[in-house]
């Protein structure tokens, strides 16, 4: 790899970062949300692809001849862009963790395209690269005209508990204060999401309500829709995005916001044997993006992490408070 011309290297690595920051600023303007959107395939695919194409196309030919260079060098300006947006709080940590694998793949594809154009030695390639850089502005209005396709998804979790059903059910309906050392939600903790604190029903039966309190001001308002004592509880879930402090969650993944919402949750208690039960907890959530195929993976993992955390708390408390009687 030849970096003997620092000015050319600086251009190859700096121009893509400037382009990315400019595009992010323009697409983030509230006055243009009807035609340009950060939460679009046009932005999320084209931006890193253009970063990759610019980086490789502006590099010297000796470096571009290397296939690994075309694939991996675009990651340098990409990571620089990520660091800048995090430092100035343009984007949040959680959003970057989720979208970065997609960005890295797109940047590498753009690098391959830039290498292909560089190798052709055609003067018109400058025009091709310029047009490619304008693609987000051309495609995003079309994408916004087509609109998003909302989708509803389900996250399933289960856990086996060795305790009487009455004890398990008591911990299902009334989750008392959860100390931080009892929280085992590794994914949500890594993403900086709020952790559960407590949730207690005002009574047991249809129409009952409770507030599931999380840290940092996040509150889920739950209303029981169906109730079968010691068997099943179905409840609606509502999070008012206006109640959630702006520092609690990234604006693109706010629960109850424009792109992501949790609809219902269900507890089911299945008997396996004497004082042995399987507790099911599943939820339905809605996504409203043009890339639900990707967002649904992350949303399901996050919901399953939250649910598994709650199930483990119920298991530990039920088994500790109710030893088996032979």
Mean local confidence (pLDDT), 26-36: 86
Q: Alpha-carbon distance 287 to 34, whole Å?
A: 19
State the pLDDT at residue 324: 38
- Convert the pLDDT of each residue in 143-161 to its tens digit: 999 888 899 999 999 999 9
CA distance 255 to 316: 28
**Tally of helices (H runs) and strands (E runs) in the chain:** 10, 8
Query: What is the model's pLDDT at position 322?
Result: 44
**pLDDT tens digits for range 158-201:** 999 999 999 999 999 999 999 988 888 888 888 888 899 999 89
Please tell me the distance from the alpha carbon of residue 322 to that of residue 320, in angstroms, as a whole number. 6
Contact 305, 105 (CB under 8 A): no
Strand-pairing partners, residue 153, are 285
The set of residues, in sequence order, having a beta carbon less than 8 Å from that of 258 and lying 6+ positions away, is 288
Residue 150 confidence (pLDDT): 92
**Nearest CA-CA partner of 259 in 268, 248, 251, 247:** 251
Q: How far is CA 139 from CA 37, 41, 130, 231, in A?
A: 11, 9, 15, 51
Per-residue model confidence (pLDDT) at position 171: 95
pLDDT at residue 313 greater than cutoff 50 = yes
pLDDT for res 326:
36
Across the beta sheet with 174-175, the strand order is 151-161, 276-287, 260-273, 232-238, 219-228, 209-214, 196-200, 174-175
* pLDDT tens-digit map of 192-228: 888 999 998 999 999 999 999 998 888 899 999 999 9
pLDDT of residue 124: 82
* DSSP string computed for 145-185: HH----EEEEEEEEEEE-S-HHHHHHHHHEE----GGG---
CA distance 135 to 128: 11
The end-to-end CA distance of the chain, in Å, is 72
Domains of the chain: 6-146 (no CATH), 151-321 (3.30.530.20)
Sign of CA dihedral 312, 314, 320, 325: negative
- Tally the C-alpha atoms within 13 A of residue 225's C-alpha that lie toward its C-beta: 12
* pLDDT above 60 for 3: no
Contact (Cβ atoms closer than 8 angstroms) between residue 237 and residue 284: no
Q: Given this model, what pLDDT does residue 227 score?
A: 98
| Local confidence band at 325 (pLDDT 50, 70, 90 cut-offs) | very low
Q: Which has more confidence, 123 or 308?
A: 308
C-beta separation of 260 from 146 below 8 A: no
Q: What 3-state class would DSSP assign to 161? A: strand
Q: What's the length of the chain?
A: 326
Can you tell me the distance from the alpha carbon of 93 to that of 55, in angstroms, rounded to the nearest whole number?
Answer: 24
Contact of 317 with 171, CB cutoff 8 Å: yes
For residue 300, give the nearest of 149, 102, 157, 104 by alpha carbon: 157
pLDDT at 1: 57
Percent of the chain whose predicted confidence (pLDDT) is above 70: 94
- At residue 294, the 3 state secondary structure works out as helix
Question: What is the rounded distance in angstroms from the CA atom of residue 132 to the CA atom of residue 137?
Answer: 10
Per-residue pLDDT at 31 exceeds 90: no
Cα atoms found within 13 Å of the Cα of residue 86, Cβ hemisphere only:
12
Q: What is the mean pLDDT of residues 23-34?
A: 88
Q: Give the pLDDT confidence score for residue 147 in this predicted structure.
A: 84
Rounded to two decimals, what is the model's pTM?
Answer: 0.87
**pLDDT of 244 higher than 90:** no
Cβ contact 54:129 at 8 Å: yes
Check pLDDT > 50 for residue 69: yes
* Res. 248 pLDDT band, cuts 50 70 90: low
């Amino acid at each position: 790899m030849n970096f003997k011309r620092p000015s050319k290297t600086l251009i190859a690595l700096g121009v893509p970062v400037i382009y990315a920051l400019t595009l992010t600023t323009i697409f983030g303007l509230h006055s243009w949300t009807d035609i340009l959107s950060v939460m679009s395939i046009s932005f999320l695919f084209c931006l890193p692809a253009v970063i990759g194409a610019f980086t490789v196309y502006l590099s010297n030919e000796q470096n571009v001849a290397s296939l690994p260079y075309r694939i991996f060098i675009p990651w340098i300006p990409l990571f620089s862009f990520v660091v800048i947006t995090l430092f100035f709080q343009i984007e949040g940590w959680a959003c970057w963790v989720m979208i970065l694998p997609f960005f890295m793949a797109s940047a590498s594809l753009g690098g391959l395209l830039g290498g292909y154009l560089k190798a052709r030695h055609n003067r018109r390639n400058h025009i091709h690269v310029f047009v490619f850089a304008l693609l987000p502005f051309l495609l995003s209005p079309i994408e916004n005209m087509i609109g998003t396709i909302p989708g509803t998804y389900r996250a399933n979790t289960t856990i086996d508990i060795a305790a009487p059903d009455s004890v398990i059910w008591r911990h299902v309906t009334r989750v008392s204060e959860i100390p931080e050392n009892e929280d085992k939600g590794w994914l949500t903790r890594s993403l900086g999401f709020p952790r559960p604190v407590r949730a207690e029903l005002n009574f047991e039966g249809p129409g009952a309500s409770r507030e599931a309190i999380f840290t940092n001001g996040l509150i889920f308002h739950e209303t029981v829709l169906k109730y079968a004592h010691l068997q099943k509880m179905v409840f609606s879930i509502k999070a008012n995005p206006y109640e959630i402090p702006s520092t609690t969650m990234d604006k693109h993944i706010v629960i109850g916001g424009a792109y992501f919402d949790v609809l219902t949750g269900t507890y089911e208690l299945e008997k396996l044997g004497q004082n042995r039960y399987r507790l099911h907890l599943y939820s339905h959530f809605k996504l409203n993006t043009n890339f639900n195929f990707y967002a649904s993976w992350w949303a399901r993992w996050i919901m399953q992490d939250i649910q598994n955390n709650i199930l483990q708390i119920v298991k530990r408390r039920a088994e500790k408070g109710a030893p088996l009687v032979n």
